[in-house]
Amino acid sequence: MKIGYARVSTTAQNLDMQIKALTDAGCEKIYEEKVSGVGERVELKAALQYLRDGDALVIYKLDRLGRSMKDLLAIIEQLQQKKVSLVSLRDNIDTGSTTGKLVMHIFAALAEFERDLIKDRTSEGRAAAKKKGVKFGRPKEEHNEKAKACAQLYRGGMTVPQIMQQLSIKSKSTIYRFLRMEGIEPNRAK
């Protein structure tokens, strides 16, 4: 079964051209959406849930489906797991065909290459910064000062929630860790 998905980014835009192309392509059911690619795409989610083994998701163009290459590849992977092919009419891609599979593998390889480049650049940047003496993470002095303040307030009778409020610390586990740093085993009932 061919299932269509049509999307425009704003309510002012018109879906007619996409719907006609999807209908002409033989789609038996078409999900329509007027929402930005960054918004929640309820109809896309419904279309993906509706699809069954052997079906084809038909779209007008790839940019109607994914908001980024990463997003597009995640959707394609989801379709592959369900044994559903993807057909992009304007891009002339059909993952049910040998050529379409090749194109998708090239896209996937490019996305993986991009992820690896970003990871390499990040690692190189961190290494260069460390060589220059840059230290990562919170300064230890700040931890020591907060730990001492926590211990002092705790010994003075304050409860953990009161210490959290007093020192603007958002997590009980941080208070417990600071207390342990100062040799205090906190009473969790406090």
Mean pLDDT confidence for 7-19 = 87
pLDDT at 84 over 70: yes
Best mean pLDDT range from 22-36, 74-88, 140-154, 173-187? 22-36
Model confidence at 190: pLDDT above 70: no
Are the C-beta atoms of 73 and 100 separated by less than 8 Å? no
Per-residue pLDDT at 25:
96
| pLDDT at residue 52 tops 90 | yes
- Strand partners of residue 98: none
Which residue in the list 9, 88, 97, 123 is annotated as catalytic? 9
Q: Report CA torsion sign: 58, 59, 61, 65.
A: negative
The CA distance from 52 to 26, in Å, is 17
Q: Return mean pLDDT, the chain.
A: 87
Q: What is 2-107's CATH topology?
A: Rossmann fold (3.40.50)
Q: Where are the alpha helices (DSSP H) in the chain?
A: 16-24, 42-50, 69-81, 98-131, 140-155, 160-167, 172-181
Q: Does 88 participate in catalysis according to the annotation?
A: no
pLDDT value at position 11?
A: 77
The residue ranges of every structural domain in the chain are 2-107, 140-181
pLDDT at 70: 77
Checking if the pLDDT of 132 tops 70, the result is: yes
* Residue range 95-112, pLDDT digits in tens: 888 888 888 778 777 777
